[in-house]
A and B are shown apart, each in its own frame.
Chain A
Amino acid sequence: MAFWRRNTHVEKERRVKANARDHNDRFAYADNHIKTSKYNILTFLPINLFEQFQRVANAYFLVLLILQLIPEISSLSWFTTIVPLVLVLVITAVKDATDDYFRHKSDQQVNNRQSQVLIRGSLQNEKWMNIRVGDIIKLENNQFVAADILLLSSSEPYGLCYIETAELDGETNLKVRQASTVTSDLGDLSKLMDFDGEVMLVTLRNASRGFLSFSVFMLVKVCGLASAVNLHLFMPCPSGEVICEPPNNKLDKFTGTLYWRDNKYPLDNEKVLLRGCVLRNTEWCFGMVIFAGLQTKLMQNCGRTKFKRTSIDKLMNTLVLWIFALLVCMGVILAIGNTVWENLIGQSFQDFLPWNVYQRNAVFSGFLTFWSYVIILNTVVPISLYVSMEVLRLGHSYFINWDGKMYHRRTDTAAEARTTTLSEELGQVEFVFSDKTGTLTQNIMVFSKCSINGQTYGDVYDEFDQKVEITEKTPCVDFSFNPLCDRKFKFYDVSLMEAIKLEDPVVQEFFRLLALCHTVMPEEKSEGHLVYQAQSPDEGALVTAARNFGFVFRSRTPETITLCEMGRSVTYRLLAILDFNNVRKRMSVIVRDPQGHIKLYSKGADTIIFDRLDPSDEDLMYTTSEHLSEFAGEGLRTLALAYKDLDEDYFEVWMKKLLFASTVIENREDQLAVLYEEIEQGLKLLGATAIEDKLQEGVPETIARLNLADIKIWVLTGDKLETAMNIGYSCNLLRDDMNEVFVISGYTVLEVQQQLRNAKERILGLSRVTSAAGDVGKTDVLADDSVFEETLIAEYALVINGHSLAHALEPQLERTLLDLACLCKTVICCRVTPMQKAQVVELVKSHKRAITLAIGDGANDVSMIRTAHIGVGISGQEGMQAVLASDYSFAQFRFLQRLLLVHGRWSYFRMCNFLCYFIYKNFAFTLVHFWYGFFCGFSAQTVYDQWFITLFNIVYTSLPVLAMGLFDQILSSHTGCRRPVQPSLPEPLQTRPAKPPLQQAPVLPVHAPRDGHILPALLYSLRSLFPLSERGRLALLRPTNICRYHSNVLGHCRECSDWT
């Protein structure tokens, strides 16, 4: 971690004592002064120069400069190098300096923000930078939180407060934070003055992960002991402190303990306000600073993003190396020429030009000539190319930002290129890995069906018991009896309403569960006008459904939930919330109803819930699971619901264990998970819900076009097999005319292996696989396969589920999986974990040498987005985490088409043409000197004026190439979309890196400048006069034309050179 490098000692835990600056000062925690700027006035020059000369290009220039200072070698004046060098350095330095200046300014602005700090019993205004760890500060509504603080109390009941974390993770929905119950009454200053609690945060990171956890755990124990010893040594009366984890960058994790009045209280993420949040809907709150300044989680997250390099970058590096080798070659040739010439001819010319001392030795003279030519020919190594490419990429990414066709009107989001360095890579994408929910679909959830107690609701039947297609005209259920209903909600099956009216207890329990078991926040703007703030759209849909069916969720406090059940207001005491997470895949609440019964309500993924059902429910389970697969077949998202009556005594025992577990510091989460598991057993099934997630606009068309462009689309989704396949069909990924859809769903390695083999056999024909079966790794077989791959016309699809994928991703099977997957047109992986998503991407990335793109919208896609060459985030309903991790972001999946087929292709072609053109012009310019060497006795005499050489690249010829690189359009955007297959390239453009066009470039001008020495110069200087006329389609300027231009200008030049 960056922080650890900065500080010499490793902070293993953090102890903070409230209102005790002296005490806290001993630990040398960072203060709240932030500094994001890199330089100050004094250090700017040395540091910036040092950084700049770390670039190869600049260093190369510097070496040249040094060479030029040796008079025996110097064939060009020093200014030919220093002018471009200084120009590049100055431009970069100015850019850095302005950047840094703005950083200084924003630092200063932030550091000088005012905040109210409790000092010696009174609130005083203090600048942010003067806030220290352990201070108690007061925040008011709509204020930014100044540092990471522990919430102590607030104006709202129960120490609640609401925050918006837009600056932190981009999510704009309100989140609740609640102060610990012991501190929530510290509302006034005198009480706060007395608060001398101490916060202790102990290393507890990744304790649940792999075998490392044990060692970490041991470390923690040791540290814990040490701290305990310290505690007793230095503080005979440990009245209180907070002990917590050292600064880290995990926004959603916090572990600590508050020691106060000889008690320990657990602290978690819910009690902490992070710097960068904004206080909302809360008049004021008090908090104690735990992390300040650079150690806050916000600042810890401001790391530099990992630099992704494009294949053109790599290609260019090798190209530059080759060109450099060529330069050395030319130098050697000319040096040898010089040696020979001096011996044969130069000797007889001595009367007019006597040899110097060093020239007596022809070999040494040749050696010096070599260096002279290295200086003269240096322009052949396209150093300014790097800078120009940066400019181009920046321009390309601005074009993406500006693209009106990638602007989504409804959400007011334009596309955003968050990385500027990848634009041409977009044109080479071969594999697209897509999330389903929120990416292919809208992620606007609509409660559409349910199964209650073995009975399905949601379909509409006519009088002949035939299913009726639901259209706009189908009459909706009338919810008018319910004044609190949501008018936008539509449901078509009247029978469910009737069941409720009949007061069927199971149906009632079903909706009660939906109304109770969730984490939605209600906002009642005016009487009866409810707005739900849901973190996941599924929850919102379910709660809204319950609301319309008469179980209105009205308000919640930390300890109660108030429903309005069929018009009656009922308040439930909330005893515990058993949180949802990706591992548990379920959430539960334990409530005490007004009658005093304790009940556990649980909802979650069907497999998970079914595993924990009471055995007596088996029959119902079978009918329900039939219904579930029916729902899933229609592409709906399903959840199973269950409840359990709890025994008072049993619950109390459990609750004690829970309380204890929630105060332990070491692997608290594991212990909690075990406890949760313990109580969520023997559940009684209520039924299942089915939520519809509509496809986004234009998804099938986009997929079809990307398919035509030979881009393979793999869908990686957490959904069920049936749901995934259904979506696959509806968005054109799977089609009925496909030869076969293979479904891999084995539970053991062998099974999976067998299924994969079988599928491959079916595709390739029996004989080929049997020969390959014994030794999969043999190269000739693989090579054969890949040949066969190309000629395969039949279309296959592969669907693989999470279980099988786990096995298939093991080292011995991954190759088989990949081969099979690449034979198929479509691959759908369902039930995959975020980790597996990344693994699949990694698999393709490492074995196929293809450019991969991952697109997703949720936090579960972040790993995949980070792994792929290009990550695309959809700014949708599920917050901004995916977007923050991505390289490109936009609002709708269909924009991917434009991004890849228009912008990607343009960038790619522009970049390739630009490189060709650039290298061509440098060669044409420089090789003149090579050929001239044969006329001037290899004496490293230049042809051009020195200022011309100096300014050729940076002034005279920089605009035309840049203009071409920015504005040239190989195809109109319209054609680009309509014809996804690149017409002029027989193979899919992605499989061919930029090599072919680039290799031609240097060859052309080798003979071109032979006679007309000034010709390329003239040609390009003419062009530079008319940069705007280049805006068209310069790519069409064929090499023949260029040659012809040459011959035209050439004669004139002959003239010129003869006249001298």
Chain B
Amino acid sequence: MGKAKVKPGPLGRRPDNSAFKQQRLPAWSPMLTANSVLPFFYVMAVICMVLGVWLLLTVQSTQEIKVDYTDAGTCNVCLEMRKNVSNAAKSCSCTVRFEIQKAFKGDVFFYYGLRNFHQNLRRYMDSRDDGQLVGKKANLKNPSSYCEPFSKDPSGLPVAPCGAVANSMFNDSFSLTYHGSSGLTAAVPLLRRGITWYTDKNIKFHNPKIDNLTLPQVFEGTAKPLYWQRPVYQFEPLDPNNNGFINDDLIVWMREAAFPNFKKLYGILNRTNKPFKNGLPAGNYSVEISYNFPVQYFQGRKGVVLTTLTWFGGQNYFLPIAYLVTSGLILLVAVVLTVVWWKFGKNGNNMQE
């Protein structure tokens, strides 16, 4: 240790009398006695209870309906058809009907969901080229080795977008129809734009730009991913802001889910016209599915989810239940402690020691 500087004078070596050096910084040291701990426990129990109930009410105010269409309705035909690989290119559509008993108020979100699909495998997640997706020309023609074996097609052309993630992109599409009580049938308008994260759409994904070339020209010399039916520049040829790498569906898919069971946003209810001004009215609905995505290989299920949201998010009971359980436990402990205190601790001095 270095030698302390010695001040002149008779008391030169005296340490500074500062709160820090003398370890006298202000500090609060609660005295744990029954009188302070027990109320604390009760108060905590009450707080947790209140929070839990409040959250429960919030969550209950959301509405959600899940429709598993893997083999429901007419879809079992498509499921059978997709079992055969040779039919991969054939289109197949089916319809599933369901009923909404209580009107969905407010914004309604349309998700597709997959079960048992492991988007979270390390090699799967790594199997993409972010450089390519952000529009780097070099990576477009020369995808990263992480994309193997989906970086080149059999003829040697570079794949755009490369990698297992893009290759396995979910390619079912849906159209939702409302069957009103008065026999009125209306297609439910879905906003298919604005379903991505802002950062993804505007920062992480860009189409490569070469002077005045059009998108198909830019992508010339690349191949579409193996499982895709159309190349990436044909997602929506008419809308340059939703085509190529910046297609919303692609972006949503490319943000991998953390768990094998997940749902991804497909569209948001367009509430400009009647009868959807206030959300989804009660009644019968049917969803017509262009059934492309095979799930039988991995014992997966697929479905659609319609839900409203609050500030809290979708319908998720975990947190309210966690609060309520915690509250119950604390209450239990508090009661036990009270009993113990009442019986043994009250007159003894051992609590203070």
| B259 CB contacts on chain A under 8 angstroms | 935, 1057-1058, 1060
Q: Closest B residue to A968 by CB, please name it.
A: B27
Question: Given the interface contacts A412-B13, A939-B123, A1032-B27, does A1047 sit within 8 Å of B32 by beta carbon?
Answer: no
Instruction: Please determine whether A1060 and B15 come into contact, CB atoms closer than 8 angstroms.
Output: no
Q: Closest B residue to A1031 by CB, please name it.
A: B25
Q: Closest A residue to B149 by CB, please name it.
A: A354
Q: Which of B13, B23, B168 contacts A399 (CB 8 A)?
A: B23
Q: Closest B residue to A942 by CB, please name it.
A: B122
Q: Scan residues 1021-1060 of chain A and give those whose CB is less than 8 A from a CB of chain B.
A: 1031-1033, 1036, 1040, 1044, 1047-1048, 1050-1052, 1054-1055, 1057-1060
| Residue B228 lies at the interface, judged by CB distance under 8 Å to chain A | no
**Which of the candidate stretches A322-330, A403-411, A510-518, A738-746 sits at the interface with the other chain?**
A403-411
| Residue A87 lies at the interface, judged by CB distance under 8 Å to chain B | no
| B262 CB contacts on chain A under 8 angstroms | 1058, 1060
Q: In the bound complex, what is the Cα–Cα distance between A1050 and B15 (angstroms)? A: 47
Instruction: Please determine whether B164 and A353 come into contact, CB atoms closer than 8 angstroms.
Output: yes
Q: Scan residues 10-51 of chain B and give those whose CB is less than 8 A from a CB of chain A.
A: 10-17, 21-23, 25, 27-30, 32, 44, 48
Binary contact track B326-338/A, C-beta < 8 Å → 1, others 0:
1000100100000
Q: Which of A417, A935, A939, A1033 contacts B27 (CB 8 A)?
A: A1033
B32 to chain A, nearest CB (A): 7
Instruction: Please determine whether B326 and A1044 come into contact, CB atoms closer than 8 angstroms.
Output: yes
| B1 CB contacts on chain A under 8 angstroms | 397, 401, 417-418, 420
| B13 CB contacts on chain A under 8 angstroms | 407, 412-414
Q: In the bound complex, what is the Cα–Cα distance between A36 and B209 (angstroms)? A: 63
| Residue A172 lies at the interface, judged by CB distance under 8 Å to chain B | no
Instruction: Please determine whether B122 and A936 come into contact, CB atoms closer than 8 angstroms.
Output: yes
Q: Scan residues 293-324 of chain B and give those whose CB is less than 8 A from a CB of chain A.
A: 294, 297-299, 312-314, 316, 318-320, 322-323
| B27 CB contacts on chain A under 8 angstroms | 967, 969, 1031-1033
| Residue B160 lies at the interface, judged by CB distance under 8 Å to chain A | no
| Residue B210 lies at the interface, judged by CB distance under 8 Å to chain A | no
Instruction: Please determine whether B313 and A402 come into contact, CB atoms closer than 8 angstroms.
Output: no
B309 to chain A, nearest CB (A): 11
| Residue B256 lies at the interface, judged by CB distance under 8 Å to chain A | yes
Q: Scan residues 135-155 of chain A and give those whose CB is less than 8 A from a CB of chain B.
A: none
| Residue B175 lies at the interface, judged by CB distance under 8 Å to chain A | no
| Residue A973 lies at the interface, judged by CB distance under 8 Å to chain B | yes
Q: In the bound complex, what is the Cα–Cα distance between A1040 and B55 (angstroms)? A: 23
| Residue B250 lies at the interface, judged by CB distance under 8 Å to chain A | no
Instruction: Please determine whether A1047 and B326 come into contact, CB atoms closer than 8 angstroms.
Output: yes
| Residue B4 lies at the interface, judged by CB distance under 8 Å to chain A | yes
Instruction: Please determine whether A1036 and B319 come into contact, CB atoms closer than 8 angstroms.
Output: no
Q: In the bound complex, what is the Cα–Cα distance between A1059 and B255 (angstroms)? A: 11
Instruction: Please determine whether A967 and B25 come into contact, CB atoms closer than 8 angstroms.
Output: yes
Q: Which of A403, A412, A420, A1060 contacts B256 (CB 8 A)?
A: A1060
Q: In the bound complex, what is the Cα–Cα distance between A937 and B259 (angstroms)? A: 10
Instruction: Please determine whether B14 and A1011 come into contact, CB atoms closer than 8 angstroms.
Output: no
**Which of the candidate stretches A189-197, A343-351, A951-959 sits at the interface with the other chain?**
A343-351
A983 to chain B, nearest CB (A): 5
Q: In the bound complex, what is the Cα–Cα distance between A56 and B122 (angstroms)? A: 30
B274 to chain A, nearest CB (A): 31
Kindly name the residue among B4, B28, B322 whose own CB sees the greatest number of chain A CB atoms within 10 A.
B322
B114 to chain A, nearest CB (A): 11
Kindly name the residue among B13, B30, B164, B330 whose own CB sees the greatest number of chain A CB atoms within 10 A.
B13
Q: In the bound complex, what is the Cα–Cα distance between A546 and B111 (angstroms)? A: 107
B256 to chain A, nearest CB (A): 7
| A404 CB contacts on chain B under 8 angstroms | 14-17, 21-22
| A983 CB contacts on chain B under 8 angstroms | 353
Q: Scan residues 108-143 of chain B and give those whose CB is less than 8 A from a CB of chain A.
A: 117-118, 120-125, 127
| A464 CB contacts on chain B under 8 angstroms | none
Question: Given the interface contacts A352-B167, A1054-B319, does A936 sit within 8 Å of B313 by beta carbon?
Answer: no
Binary contact track A335-371/B, C-beta < 8 Å → 1, others 0:
0000000000110110111101000000000000000
| B325 CB contacts on chain A under 8 angstroms | 1047
Q: Closest A residue to B264 by CB, please name it.
A: A1060
Instruction: Please determine whether B123 and A353 come into contact, CB atoms closer than 8 angstroms.
Output: yes
| Residue A519 lies at the interface, judged by CB distance under 8 Å to chain B | no
| Residue A877 lies at the interface, judged by CB distance under 8 Å to chain B | no
Binary contact track A749-771/B, C-beta < 8 Å → 1, others 0:
00000000000000000000000
Question: Given the interface contacts A354-B149, A1033-B27, does A935 sit within 8 Å of B120 by beta carbon?
Answer: yes
B113 to chain A, nearest CB (A): 11
How many positions in chain B have a CB within 8 Å of any CB in the partner chain?
60
Size range of the chain A interface in the assembly: 35 or more
| A1040 CB contacts on chain B under 8 angstroms | 333
Q: In the bound complex, what is the Cα–Cα distance between A256 and B186 (angstroms)? A: 117
| Residue B240 lies at the interface, judged by CB distance under 8 Å to chain A | no
Q: In the bound complex, what is the Cα–Cα distance between A349 and B294 (angstroms)? A: 11
B66 to chain A, nearest CB (A): 14
Q: In the bound complex, what is the Cα–Cα distance between A967 and B257 (angstroms)? A: 43
Q: In the bound complex, what is the Cα–Cα distance between A617 and B326 (angstroms)? A: 92
A744 to chain B, nearest CB (A): 39
Instruction: Please determine whether B118 and A412 come into contact, CB atoms closer than 8 angstroms.
Output: no
A910 to chain B, nearest CB (A): 11
Question: Given the interface contacts A353-B124, A412-B10, A935-B120, does A1051 sit within 8 Å of B318 by beta carbon?
Answer: yes
| A906 CB contacts on chain B under 8 angstroms | 23
Instruction: Please determine whether B30 and A1051 come into contact, CB atoms closer than 8 angstroms.
Output: no
Q: Closest A residue to B325 by CB, please name it.
A: A1047
A407 to chain B, nearest CB (A): 5
Instruction: Please determine whether B326 and A941 come into contact, CB atoms closer than 8 angstroms.
Output: no
Q: Closest B residue to A936 by CB, please name it.
A: B120
Instruction: Please determine whether A399 and B21 come into contact, CB atoms closer than 8 angstroms.
Output: yes
Instruction: Please determine whether A937 and B319 come into contact, CB atoms closer than 8 angstroms.
Output: no
Instruction: Please determine whether B15 and A402 come into contact, CB atoms closer than 8 angstroms.
Output: yes
| Residue A588 lies at the interface, judged by CB distance under 8 Å to chain B | no
Q: Closest B residue to A354 by CB, please name it.
A: B149
Instruction: Please determine whether A1054 and B14 come into contact, CB atoms closer than 8 angstroms.
Output: no
Binary contact track A412-445/B, C-beta < 8 Å → 1, others 0:
1110011010000000000000000000000000
Q: In the bound complex, what is the Cα–Cα distance between A774 and B56 (angstroms)? A: 77
Instruction: Please determine whether B16 and A402 come into contact, CB atoms closer than 8 angstroms.
Output: yes
| B117 CB contacts on chain A under 8 angstroms | 352
| Residue A924 lies at the interface, judged by CB distance under 8 Å to chain B | no
| Residue A892 lies at the interface, judged by CB distance under 8 Å to chain B | no
Kindly name the residue among B4, B120, B127 whose own CB sees the greatest number of chain A CB atoms within 10 A.
B120
A36 to chain B, nearest CB (A): 15
| B255 CB contacts on chain A under 8 angstroms | 1060
Question: Given the interface contacts A414-B13, A943-B258, does A1051 sit within 8 Å of B319 by beta carbon?
Answer: yes
Q: Which of B22, B122, B323 contacts A402 (CB 8 A)?
A: B22
| Residue B283 lies at the interface, judged by CB distance under 8 Å to chain A | no
Instruction: Please determine whether B23 and A967 come into contact, CB atoms closer than 8 angstroms.
Output: yes
| Residue A940 lies at the interface, judged by CB distance under 8 Å to chain B | yes
A1051 to chain B, nearest CB (A): 3
Q: In the bound complex, what is the Cα–Cα distance between A547 and B255 (angstroms)? A: 97
| Residue B275 lies at the interface, judged by CB distance under 8 Å to chain A | no
Q: In the bound complex, what is the Cα–Cα distance between A1059 and B316 (angstroms)? A: 11
- Name 14 extra pairs, CB < 8 A, besides A936-B122, A1050-B319, A1051-B318: A348-B299, A356-B123, A403-B22, A404-B14, A409-B14, A935-B259, A935-B260, A936-B258, A939-B122, A940-B122, A967-B27, A1032-B27, A1051-B55, A1051-B323
The 9 closest A-B pairs by CB, nearest first: A1051-B319, A402-B21, A936-B120, A939-B122, A352-B168, A941-B122, A939-B121, A402-B15, A1032-B27
A-B contact list, 25 entries, CB within 8 Å: A348-B298, A349-B118, A351-B294, A352-B167, A353-B121, A372-B122, A401-B15, A404-B15, A404-B17, A412-B10, A412-B11, A413-B13, A936-B122, A937-B260, A939-B121, A969-B29, A1036-B29, A1044-B44, A1050-B318, A1051-B320, A1051-B323, A1055-B313, A1057-B259, A1058-B314, A1060-B258
List the interface of chain B (C-beta within 8 A of A). 1, 4, 10-17, 21-23, 25, 27-30, 32, 44, 48, 55, 117-118, 120-125, 127, 149, 164, 167-168, 255-260, 262, 294, 297-299, 312-314, 316, 318-320, 322-323, 325-326, 330, 333, 353
